[in-house]
Amino acid sequence: MSEIPSTMRASVLRGVRDVALEERPVPKCAPDEVLVKVSSVGVCGSDVHYYEHGSIGPFVVEAPLVLGHELSGVIVGVGADVDPARVGSRVAVEPQRPCRTCEYCRSGAYNLCPKMEFYATPPIDGAFCEYVTIQDDFAFDVPDKISDHAAALMEPLSVGIAAAQKGRIGIGDTVLIAGGGPIGVIAAQVARAFGAADVVVADISPARRALAARYGARVVDPAAESTEDLRAHVFIDASGATPAILNGIRSVRAGGTVVLVGSADVIPLSVPEIAMREINVTGTFRYTNTWPIARELLLSGKVELDSLVTHVYGLEQAEQAPTGEGAKDSLKRVVLPGVSRVEDPAAAAKGAAS
């Protein structure tokens, strides 16, 4: 391995729609951490929201912040308590640090840890930079069969896995998903992998419906076709749209489950409808213990992520990534911190997927 430099480049959000490239010290490993040279970082909707609005709910950007929490890389250094043999390992990073001692962590629900430190959530910096640190057991080895981009996208894949687990999707189930964006398409693949017999994706966009169909989903236009007779076992909302959520509740069978993944505002719910049909309504907040499952889904071929990447940017172009500038029909955009600029982001994505 090459010598680790003392400084690195980082793309820093300094305010709403204000991103600058800065030189920062390379972070030092705590005894239980590894130092990862970042290979690929996916752009999440939360990155876009912080860029455009400076906040998400109670999380407010009050100081310069490095965005990006979907990442892969190579371990180039280890803390005192970590096996040095890990240096050189390609890894996918679970981008969070729970306290491990509270009642939630001890019960296994560490995603609900009140002291959670999550990448790119104020005030914790993310991965639009050349190097990051993470606790050793949250850096998961990935084989060469899994690309850098797919390894990074194990994070949104984990969101889909968590939704399937919350919905208790099983063999033969009918699953309705609202939203044909990246999370919706990933959730559809996961639902099929979990045994669902009929996976239906509803989206008002013809382009998104066409995309979901390419991944094996049955698609409907909710503006033209009702799903209320579907009697789905599970409804997953990946849209955050109030009409979609209310329609999904009407589309599940008695005793069915509604899993809210999309970011929605406060909406009115029909308590009699939920109570009298015993519909289970739940949400997901990140994930727990999903990276090993994600890795196996990718290795088995039951889930495919590389083709979701439509645009690739260098670190100097990191401001274009959340805006989608020059990426009219983008689906999943990624940043390469080790590259300064990419001349043709769309062509670079096609080249990486081939």
Looking at residue 262, its pLDDT comes to 87
226 vs 140: CA distance, rounded Å: 42
CA atoms within 13 A on the CB side of 30: 7
DSSP one-letter code for 124: B
Whether residues 186 and 103 share a domain: the answer is: no
Whose structure tokens read 């645009």?
Answer: 311
- Same domain? For 23 and 123 the reply is yes
Q: What tokens appear for 40 in the block?
A: 């690929």
Residues 143 and 11 in one domain: yes
Q: Number of helices (H) and strands (E), helices first, in the chain?
A: 11, 20
pLDDT value for 265: 81
Q: Which two tokens stand for residue 226?
A: 């009702």
Start-to-end CA span in the chain (Å): 28
Q: Specify the pLDDT at position 351.
A: 66
Question: Do 109 and 215 fall into the same domain?
Answer: no
For the entire predicted model, the pTM comes to: 0.96
pLDDT for residue 251 = 98
pLDDT of residue 325: 66
Residue ranges of the chain whose pLDDT lies below 70 = 1, 325-328, 351-354
Enclosing domain of residue 196? 166-283
Q: Does 41 map to a domain?
A: yes
How many domains, in total, are found in the chain?
A: 2
Tens digits of per-residue pLDDT, 91-120?
999 999 999 999 999 999 999 999 999 999
**Rounded Cα distance, 326 and 211, in Å:** 20
Token pair in block for residue 51: 């860029």
Q: 123 preceded by cis ω (within 30°)? A: yes
* Same domain, residue pair 114 and 19: yes
